[in-house]
Structure 1
C-alpha cells in the first residue's frame, strides 16, 4: 500500500549539521532520514503557478483527481491564495506609485491692484507666473522605492507560504482519503469473509457437526463486521468531503486517484525555509521603513522660476526663488525611534523563527523515522505472520482440527494487522508532508 506514502512529498536525503553527515538515498515509498538538517529531498513536481491577480476558478471540480491535480485545483480556488496574490499585486502598484517624483506647482501672483492712489484699479498691476519644484536631496524617493520593493518581496514570500500551507494540507487530506478508502475496502472484505463463515457455520450446525453456539458466534461476528463497514463508509465519505472542501467544492469528490508521481530532487535547507526567509524579509522591510522615516526628517528645498509682468511699463522680468523648510519643532524623531524599535523586533522574530524551524524540523524528522520503523516492522514480520496464521487456521478449520472461534480470532488478527499497516502508511505520509512543509523554500 505504497500509494499512501506517495501522497506526500517523500524525503530522499537528510544530513546532520557539519561536513561529517553522510547522504542517504531512498525511494518515494520508503523515505530515509538522517539527523538534523534537511539537505536534499524529493517531492512531487510543482504544479503550474497561477499568475498574480487571476480570479478564482469557478468551474466544477473534477470528480476523480490525482494528487497533482488536487493541488492545482486548490491553488486556483483557494481564497487564501487568491488574497495573497492580490496582496502581491497591491505591493507592485505601491512600488510604481513610490517611484513618482513630486508634482511641480504652478503659482500665479497678482500684485498692486484694487488699492488707492497710483495703485487704484489695474494700472499698476504686477503679475508673476512661476513654476516651483521640490528637490529630493534627502533621498525620500529612493527610500520609498526601496521600502516598496522590500514589501513586494515580503508579499511574494507570504504568497509562497500560503501555497505551501495549502499544498501540505491537500497532501495530508489526500492521503487520508486514500487511507479511508482502503479501510472501507478492508471492512468490505471482512464482511464478505464473516458472511461466508456464518453461512458455513449455519450449515454445520444444521448437520449436527457444530453446536448452535458456533452459529450464534458467527452471526455476532458478522453483525460487528457490518457495523464497522458502516462506520468505514461514513469515514470515507467524510474524507472525500474534506478533501473537496480544500478544492473549493461542497460536493465530495468521487475518488482520490493514487499512482506514481513524477518526483524530482531539489536541494532544501532548513535555514532557507519559507518561515526563515519571511522573517528575513520582514527585517529588510523594517530597515527600509526606517530609511523612509529618516529621510522624512531631513529638509528638502524647493526652487522656482517664473516671469513677472509690470502692466504700467509693459516690462517683463524673470524671477527665481528658493524655499527651505525649517526643522525646528517637528524633526520626525518619534517615527524614527518607532522604526528603529520595529527593526529590533523584526530581528528578534527572525532569530525566533530560525530556532522554531530547526526544532520543528528535528521533530518532523523523528516522526518520519518512527513511522518508517513502524511500517517496516509491519511489512516485514507482523503482516506475513498474521497472513500465515490465518492460512493455517483456515486449513485447520476445514480439516476439523480448529474451532470457528479460533478461525475468527486469526481472521481478526489478520484484519487488525492490515488496518495497522494502513494507519502506519498514513502516518508516514502525514509526517513526510509535514517535513516537506517545514523545509519548503
Structure 2
C-alpha cells in the first residue's frame, strides 16, 4: 500500500522555495532527461497545435531547470565500484601464469611444459573465465541508477459543455524518480562485486587443481620410468646370473635343475619388466589426457624423487591453513552472505518516488509547477522473511567454514604423519636394508661358487636385494605424491614455510 501525495499546482511565485523544501532532505539520484518531440506523435495534431510556441519554450526551460537542480543530488550516490580482490595462489608461479600459444610436447617433456599444456587446453577453465565476466557485468548492472520516469498527462479535453474540444485542456509534463534509501544500490553492488571476487577465487582454485593433477600424474610417469630402468638392470643381472649357472652346468659342476630354477627367475624378471612397461604407458596416457590429446608425443620425462628431509613443523603448516585456497573461498562466501544480510535489512526501508514538473492551463493560458511524493507504507511486508533467511544463510556459511576447516586440518595432519612415517621408512631402507641385503647377496654369491650355499639360498638373497630396491623406489614415489597433495591443499610449496 502506498500513500500518494497528488500533484498540486503552484503559482510562479514561491516556486523556488517549494522546490527547495521538497528536495532538501532527500538524496536524489537522477539522470538528465533528454526531451524528444517524437513522444508527442501519438496525440492528435490539434492538441499539439494548441500548445503555443511560448509554452513549448517554457517547458524546455522547466525540464532543464529540474535536471540542473538534480545534478548536485546525483553526488549522493554511494555505490561501491566493482573491484576485484587480488586472488593469488603462491603455488601458481609466474612461469605458469604465462602460457604460450605454440607449446608442443617435445621428446623430453618437462613439468612446466606439461602444466602449461594443461592450463591452455582445459575447457573447464574457459567456463570459469566466462563466469567471471558474467559477474563483472552483473556488478556493473547493479551499480546503475534507477531510470527516471516521464509523465505526460492531458486532462479535461473532448468533454461536454465548456470542456469540449481542447479549450479547457490541462497539459502536465513531469519527471518522477525512485529514491533508494538505506544504501540499497551500494549494497547490491557490493554483493555483486564480492560474488565476482568469489568467481575469481574459484577460477584460481580450478587452476590449482589442474596444476596438482599434472604434478601428480607427472610424478607417476617419472616413478614408472624409474621402475622400468630398475627392472631392466635387474633383468640384466638375472641374465648374467643365468649365464653363469649355464656355464657351471656345462662344466658338470651343477645339475640341470639349478639351471631351470635360474630360468624361472629370469622369466619372472622379464614378466616384471613387461608389467613395468605397461604401467609406464598407462601413466603417460593419463598425463596426456589432462590436456585432452590422448596421444603420447614424448618418450621420457625429467624429474627427481628427492624430498625435503627437513620438513616444516606441524605448527607452521597448521598456521598456513588460514591462507589455504579452500578456506579463503569459504571466507569469501561468508563475506557475500554478510553483505546480503545488510541488503535484506535495507530492503525493509521504503523507497519514495518524487515527481516534479510543469502544467499548462489552456483555457486561461496560465502555467504552474507541480510536485508529488509517494511512499510505500510498510504495513504488511517489512521483508521479515528475507531478513531471517539472510541471517540463516550467513550462519550456514559460517558452519560450513567450521566444518571445512576441521576437515582440512584432519587431512593435513594425516598427510604430515604419513610423510613422517614414509620418511623414516626411506631412511631405514636406504641406510640399513639395502646395504645389508647387498652384503648378504655378495657373501652368498661368493660362497655359492665354493659350494657352501645352495642355489635356492642365492636366489633368495638376490630376490631380497631386488625387492628392497623396488620398495625404496615405491617409498620415494609415495612420499613425493603425499607432498604434492599437501602442497595442493595448502596452495603453496613446503619450501616457502
After superposition, where does 1:389-428 map in structure 2 within 5 Å? 389-397=440-448, 401-428=452-479
Instruction: Confirm or deny: 8 A CA contact 1:383 1:418 kept in the other structure.
Output: yes
CA offset at residue 380 of structure 1? 1.1
| Aligned equivalent of 2:430, options 379, 393, 413 | 379
> In the aligned structure 1, how far is the partner of 2:272 from the partner of 2:117?
33
Structure 1 residues 375, 85: CA separation in 2 closer, same or farther (over 3 Å shift)? farther
- Identify the match of residue 139 of structure 1 among 160, 176, 183: 183
- 2:300 aligned residue: 255
**Which of 360, 365, 387 does residue 416 from structure 2 map onto?**
365
Q: Using a 3 Å threshold, how does the CA distance of structure 1 residues 83 and 209 change in structure 2: closer, same or farther? A: same
Tell me if 1:244 matches 2:309: no
C-alpha distance in structure 2 between counterparts of 1:320 and 1:260, whole Å: 80
Structure 1 residue 197 corresponds to structure 2 residue 236: no
How many residues matched?
394
Extract unaligned runs of 5+ from structure 1: 1-42
- What TM-score comes out, normalization by structure 2 length? 0.73
Query: How far apart in 1 are the matches of 2:129 and 2:422?
Result: 36
How far the C-alpha of 1:342 sits from its partner, in A, is 0.4
Shift of the 174–418 alpha-carbon distance from structure 1 to 2, 3 Å rule, reads same
1:3 paired residue number: none
| Contact 1:58–1:77 under 8 Å retained in 2 | no
Please tell me whether residue 106 in structure 1 is matched to residue 150 in structure 2. Answer: yes
Deviations 1:359-396 (A, max 9, x none): 22211211111111111111111122223333334444
Partner deviation per Cα, 1:308-365 (whole Å, 9 max, x = no partner): 2333333333222212122223222212211111011111112222222222221121
2:262 maps to which residue?
218
**What residue in structure 1 maps to residue 93 of structure 2?**
46
Indicate the RMSD between aligned Cα atoms, in angstroms: 2.8
Distance 1:168 1:200 in 2: 48
Deviation of 1:270 after TM superposition, in Å, equals 1.7
1:260 CA drift (Å): 9.8
Pair 109,64 (structure 1): closer, same or farther in 2 beyond 3 Å: farther
**Contact 2:96/2:112, CA 8 A, preserved across alignment:** no
Contact 2:118 2:210 in 1 (8 A): yes
- 8 Å contact from structure 2 (residues 433, 468) kept in 1: yes
Structure 2: 5+ residue runs without aligned partners? 1-89, 493-497
Partner of 2:384: 333
Structure 2 CA distance for aligned equivalents of residues 89 and 370 of structure 1: 46
1:308–1:317 CA contact under 8 A, matched in 2: yes
Q: 2-side partners of 1:318 and 1:45: how far apart?
A: 64
Q: 2-side partners of 1:74 and 1:82: how far apart?
A: 12
The answer on whether the counterparts of 2:305 and 2:477 sit within 8 Å (CA) in structure 1 is: no
Q: Secondary structure at the match of 1:269?
A: helix
1:65 to 1:114, Cα distance in 2 relative to 1, 3 A: farther
The alpha-carbon distance between structure 1 residues 237 and 47, as it changes in their structure 2 partners (threshold 3 A), is: farther
Query: CA shift at 1:287, angstroms?
Result: 1.0
Structure 1 distance, partners of 2:102, 2:389, is 45
Pick closer, same or farther for the CA change 1:349–1:258 going to 2, 3 Å: same
Aligned pair in 2 of structure 1 residues 122, 363: CA closer, same or farther (>3 Å)?
A: same
Structure 1's 375 and 407: CA in aligned 2 closer, same or farther, altered over 3 A? same
